[in-house]
Amino acid sequence: ACTRWPREPWCNSLLTRCAGWLSAFSGGASLKMRQPMWHLLLCFAAACGLLGAHHALHAPAEAPATKGHHWPTPKSSLAGQLRGDATRDTFPAGGPSPPSNIFFEASVPADAPRRNTRVHLQDMRAAPSSVSMDSATPPAVVLGIATAPKNTGHRSWIRQTWLTLPNVLAGSKSGSGHNRSAVGPLVAAFFLVGVLTPAATAHEPSVVDALANEQAKHGDIELLNARETKPPGEKMVAFFRLCVVGFSHATWCVKTDDDTYVQTVRLAINLNILWEEQREPASHRMIYLGATLWASYRPQSFQVCGHGMGPMMAASASKNERCADRGGVGPFPYAAGTLEVLSMPLAQWLAREENVARFVQRAHATNPPAWSLGEDTVLGMWVHESPFKITALHWGWDKIHDLCFKCFDKTQLWKPISTSSVVVHIKGHQANLHNFVNVHRNFSRICGAQCQQAKLSFDVPSLADLCRRGQISTVYSKCRMVR
């Protein structure tokens, strides 16, 4: 395993080295086949034990515990996670639900130090191994790209295009040497892979080996203790928890998908502008944004209900489908899964919210997965049920849109690249290297350096603005907070 994930701290531990020496000394064979060597092996093991005791006695004192939540110590290595070794105790089948304040990112240790400036991969596993922090400035935006283990093509296309943008910190081998001057706030970007199949079992050995080889080559994959589902509900929650723990000095946690092109310079600059415009103290800046749709949701049955493009359409659909009578929450707006943005304070609230933890635990207990639709809808529901006077800010379908080529009807969600584009969804059969490269070129051609610095306005900039429009306040319960 250490040959596959050599940066794992346990690979350099004294116990692992002793085990390796013992294995090498015995030739990898069982002790039954080497009976004459028993006394030598026992002496060797005792020597390792004495050396370990000496190491423990003379090890430096532990750093004082940080304030806030105590995160659980991982039960195994990343390689072990891929094979499912860490999941049996974490999610016992048929057993009682774990405490609601326990989170499950086994890639984040309890004793990971937190820096105010430079992040060092060798001593901070909380920062994903994908990120090369060769700048003294920590990333402002943490961008997780949901991907399936088999989607090697999608990851390759993204690596060849938008991960090369000048403000992206992606991959320990490709991140160094970038000129980081005048390119906007830094973005730490990496791919998100769940260590479990949809059936909550370990991946096949061939999948494990392929992922390990890809990680060794690129170093931009982060393993999450979650199931691989589509849409990636469990991975979405796992990412936001990882962002909160591993990048506490970042400002934004952003989730996207591997069939999406993100103009990271433009995204980071506009998020920075939005952050600086807020009047509240930094710790109270609860912001949720994207390109919004509307729906209700039935949390007990994990079902979307009453979907619509806008509030009045969703309210009508909710009434026709009797969503409220069937335990539905809503209607409410939610950011479509192409780009889901949370400010760090809101992500921290989400990661610590007991109702969120219970929902995820209950969803994970179902097999086959019941949370198979509405990953983005559920995030919108949680924000809707939050105590904060906020809504999903709608950036507009001209900034976040599906890609089209001839684009006969430009009033729809499918649009060509324009001077307003920030995030482009390259759907289904369109997702290939040719189209990713063309989008990459067209972004540079259509929107140059000055264009990328421009502020892009929000179609819905606040809850108060939304509730002043038409009859929305009659169907959107959150409007009661601004009357």
Q: Is 44 exposed, middle or buried (0-12, 13-18, 19+ CB in 10 A)?
A: middle
In 291-412 the beta strands, taken as DSSP E runs, fall at 292-298, 303-308, 329-335, 339-343, 392-394, 400-403
Q: What pLDDT is recorded for position 411?
A: 58
Q: pLDDT-derived band of residue 144, with 50, 70 and 90 as boundaries?
A: very high
Task: Provide the edge-to-edge strand list for the sheet that holds 423-425.
Answer: 260-262, 423-425, 400-403, 414-415
Two structure tokens written together for 122: 């060798």
Lowest mean pLDDT among 55-64, 120-129, 428-437, 456-465: 120-129
- pLDDT: which is higher, 379 or 373: 379
Q: What pLDDT is recorded for position 328?
A: 97
% of the chain surpassing 90 pLDDT? 64
At CA 100, angle to CA 97 and CA 106, rounded to 5? 85
Q: What pLDDT is recorded for position 129?
A: 37
Contact present, 260 and 376 (Cβ < 8 Å): no
Q: pLDDT-derived band of residue 25, with 50, 70 and 90 as boundaries?
A: very low
User: Which among 272, 279, 283, 281 is positioned nearest to 341, based on CA atoms?
Assistant: 272
Residue 177 pLDDT > 80 = no
The pLDDT tens digits for 337-346 are: 999 999 999 9
Choose the most confident range, by mean pLDDT, from 118-127, 132-141, 369-378.
Answer: 369-378
Q: pLDDT-derived band of residue 22, with 50, 70 and 90 as boundaries?
A: very low
The pLDDT tens digits for 417-468 are: 999 999 999 988 889 999 999 999 999 999 999 999 999 999 999 999 999 9
Lowest mean pLDDT among 82-91, 238-247, 316-325, 329-338: 82-91
Q: What is the mean pLDDT of residues 61-89?
A: 37
State the average pLDDT for the chain: 78
Q: What pLDDT is recorded for position 314?
A: 98
Two structure tokens written together for 447: 């929107």
Residue 268 pLDDT > 90 = yes
Residues facing residue 194 across a β-bridge: 224
- pLDDT: which is higher, 65 or 220: 220
Residue 305 pLDDT > 60 = yes
Q: What is the mean pLDDT of residues 272-289?
A: 97
Q: How would you label 384-422 residue by residue, b for 16+ Cβ within 10 Å and e otherwise?
A: bebebebbbbbbbbbbbbbbbeeeeeeeeebbbbeebbb
Q: pLDDT-derived band of residue 412, with 50, 70 and 90 as boundaries?
A: low
User: Which among 394, 445, 392, 395 is positioned nearest to 416, based on CA atoms?
Assistant: 445
User: Which among 105, 98, 154 is positioned nearest to 127, based on CA atoms?
Assistant: 105
* Coil/strand/helix, residue 331: strand
Residue 156 pLDDT > 70 = yes
Residue 33 pLDDT > 80 = no
Residue with tokens 């092109």: 261
Q: What is the mean pLDDT of residues 219-238?
A: 95
Q: pLDDT-derived band of residue 169, with 50, 70 and 90 as boundaries?
A: very high
- pLDDT: which is higher, 8 or 304: 304
CA 71/CA 76 separation, integer angstroms: 15
Q: What pLDDT is recorded for position 410?
A: 58
